[in-house]
Amino acid sequence: MPDTRFQRVLLKISGEGLCKPGAGGIDGEELHRLATEIKLVVELGVQVAVVVGGGNLVRGSVISVDSPIEETTGHYMGMLATVINALAVQDTLESLGVPTRVQSALAIASVCEPFIRRRAIRHMEKGRVVIFGGGTGNPFLTTDTGAALRAAEIRAEALLKATKVDGVYTADPATDPSAKRIERLTYNEVIDQRLRVMDVSAIDLCQRSKIPIIVLDLKHPGNMSAVVQGKGIGTLIDS
Ligand code: UDP
């Protein structure tokens, strides 16, 4: 057992984490930066699962506006986009020597495994990073909800939510210089104050499963490994 605060974590990265700010698509440098952070955590002996979003490629609610594409189809397209991102993260991690498996909530047998909970846990026990694509497999939901669901299913000890800033702030730090980082919040405070950390359904699932959420900035080197070692980085959300 590694001598770290958490032995098994689930990392949620938005699709925007795979591209340059505002650019969309998939950027090799960003992928490399992300995979390097994950590798540091794997090297500590911590079991890592990853849920990737797809917003850098397709958002169901956006692509279907003023379009012949039905909203439901748009959501399926968004879920497929998350599988594309999962494959990109997989190859980048493997190029750094980190063994991986991709599991998808949508059946795509020729490119990845289906989601099988017990198999995912077994992969992690063998030191493989399991990347979950396809969100929850259901339209009208988000990969944040998918991340909370998978975290509960694999009994992750923490859900690490990567964002553009290093935690939850009292205001938007990009526009308000007086904005202050909040070190700790309860699940109820996040829901009651409508803090846009994750969907309410994701927060609710974490609360019911007693999974702390740690909001952190993954673009800052070493942050993720510092968090799993118990350093007070970002914002901790628990009961
Ligand atoms: N999506 C969905 N069901 C899910 C997860 C995702 O329908 O369980 C669709 C939805 O259209 C969403 C898109 O996939 O807009 C991309 O996911 P998300 O917006 O969560 O990605 P992120 O914002 O994390 O990049």
Domain ranges of the chain: 8-238
Ligand 1 atom closest to the CA of 62, numbered from 1 = 15
Rounded (10°) angle between helices 143-153 and 200-209: 10
Closest residue (by CA) to atom 21 of ligand 1? Answer: 53
Ligand 1 atom closest to the CA of 146, numbered from 1 = 8
Contacts of 233 (CB under 8 A, 6+ apart): 166, 167, 214, 216, 223, 226, 227
pLDDT at 2 over 90: no
Contacts of 52 (CB under 8 A, 6+ apart): 13, 15, 18, 82, 85, 86, 89, 131, 132, 133, 143
State the pTM of this model. Answer: 0.96
pLDDT at 70: 97
pLDDT digit string, tens, across residues 53-80: 999 999 999 999 999 999 999 999 999 9
Query: What is the distance in A from the centroid of ligand 1 to the CA of 162?
Result: 15
Q: Round the average pLDDT of the chain to a whole number and report it.
A: 96
Distance CA 96, CA 37 (A): 11
Which CATH superfamily does the domain covering 8-238 fall into?
Acetylglutamate kinase-like (3.40.1160.10)
Average pLDDT (122-148) is 98
Query: What is the distance in A from the centroid of ligand 1 to the CA of 1?
Result: 34
Cα-based angle 63, 87, 27 (whole degrees, multiple of 5): 70
pLDDT digit string, tens, across residues 178-230: 988 999 999 999 999 988 899 999 999 999 999 999 999 988 899 999 999 99
Q: How would residue 126 be classed by pLDDT, with cut points 50, 70 and 90?
A: very high
Q: How would residue 174 be classed by pLDDT, with cut points 50, 70 and 90?
A: confident
pLDDT at 142: 97
Q: How would residue 143 be classed by pLDDT, with cut points 50, 70 and 90?
A: very high
For the chain, the helix, strand and coil percentages under 3-state DSSP, each to the nearest 5: 40, 20, 45
For residue 36, is it left (φ>0), alpha (ψ between -120 and 50) or beta? alpha
Distance CA 126, CA 98 (A): 12
Q: CB under 6 Å to ligand 1: residues?
A: 14-16, 53-55, 59-61, 74-75, 78-79, 82, 135-136, 138-144, 146
Query: What is the distance in A from the centroid of ligand 1 to the CA of 161?
Result: 15
Tokens of 46: 């911590």
Ligand 1 pocket test, candidate residues 14, 59, 69, 196, most atoms within 8 A of CB: 59
